[in-house]
Amino acid sequence: MLDALLSGLVTGYAIAVPVGAVAALIIALSARTSWTVGAAAGLAVATVDGAYAAVAVVAGSAVAATLEPIADVLQAVSVAALLAIAALTLHSALRPAAADQDAAARRWTPLRAWLTFAGITAVNPATVVYFAAVVIGGSVDLDGATEGTVFVVAAFLASASWQLFVVSLGTGLRRTVSGPRGRRTTGIVAAVVIAALALKPLF
């Protein structure tokens, strides 16, 4: 049982900690909106991570085989979605009126953030393939449904704790972006970083 717990935590952190486009987007969103909205986005990512861990435990080999032929399509969808968000972030940052930026920030609700980030994470084939590879490859020795459940819950908690840490980093920047110049600068930087990280898998 302890092995399943530790394996789930290690596996969850391993998929969550590497900084990618989604993490950069969560930081930017948290800095421009609120901790609540950012937390909803982060927990959406963790929810999908936990769901994919469960899928890998139940039917890892079958899922990996099913996704292999369409992995490129899913990656393209993921890249396109992130580039669209980067473009919207840049557009919002370049608006001259601070009121417009404030209105754009207010349009983000916790529910909208959760749905958006769950969708972005769900179309990333690397997440489920990673969990499937860990389970199928024998890196994790799970004996029965109980240990499988412990592994999945631990993976979710690891991802959730990291995502909330990332959200806290973002909200910590709010003082920096409180003025129009700060909002514009961080918006432009966030858009460029998100776009660059989104395109990284293609190279």
Q: Give the mean model confidence (pLDDT) for residues 88-114.
A: 70
b/e code 153-165 from CB counts within 10 Å (16+ = b): bbbbbbbbebbbe
Tokens of residue 87, six digits: 């473009």
The SS3 call for residue 1 is coil
Report yes or no: 191 and 18 within 8 Å, Cβ to Cβ. no
Residues sharing a CB contact under 8 Å with residue 145, sequence separation 6 or more, in sequence order: none
Residues sharing a CB contact under 8 Å with residue 23, sequence separation 6 or more, in sequence order: 166
Confidence at residue 10, expressed as pLDDT on a 0 to 100 scale:
82
Domain carrying residue 32: 2-202
Q: Give the mean model confidence (pLDDT) for residues 48-73.
A: 73
Neighbours of 184 (CB within 10 A): 18
H or E segment and range at residue 174: none
Query: Higher-confidence residue: 32 or 167?
Result: 167
Instruction: Tell me the percentage of the chain whose pLDDT exceeds 70.
Output: 64
Confidence at residue 29, expressed as pLDDT on a 0 to 100 scale:
86
Instruction: Tell me the percentage of the chain whose pLDDT exceeds 90.
Output: 18
- Amino acid letter at 24? A
User: If pLDDT is split at 50, 70 and 90, which confidence band does 195 have?
Assistant: confident
* 18 pLDDT more than 90: no
Highest mean pLDDT among 13-17, 39-43, 61-65, 138-142: 39-43
CA–CA–CA angle 46, 47, 50 (5° rounding) = 85
Q: Which of 154, 137, 138 is nearest to 53 (CA)?
A: 154
Confidence at residue 181, expressed as pLDDT on a 0 to 100 scale:
66
Total domains, the chain: 1
Report yes or no: 142 and 151 within 8 Å, Cβ to Cβ. yes
Confidence at residue 94, expressed as pLDDT on a 0 to 100 scale:
73
Residues sharing a CB contact under 8 Å with residue 117, sequence separation 6 or more, in sequence order: 22, 25, 26, 40, 41, 42, 44, 45
Q: Give the mean model confidence (pLDDT) for residues 15-39.
A: 83
For the entire predicted model, the pTM comes to 0.72
Q: Give the mean model confidence (pLDDT) for residues 56-77.
A: 68
Report yes or no: 169 and 26 within 8 Å, Cβ to Cβ. no
Confidence at residue 65, expressed as pLDDT on a 0 to 100 scale:
63
Tokens of residue 69, six digits: 């032929």
Confidence at residue 42, expressed as pLDDT on a 0 to 100 scale:
94
Lowest mean pLDDT among 70-79, 100-109, 161-170: 100-109
* Full 3-state SS string of 14-61: HHHCCCCHHHHHHHHHHHHCCHHHHHHHHHHHHHHHHHHHHHHHHHHH
Q: pLDDT tens-digit profile of 117-171?
A: 998 888 776 676 666 666 655 555 666 678 878 888 998 999 999 999 999 988 8
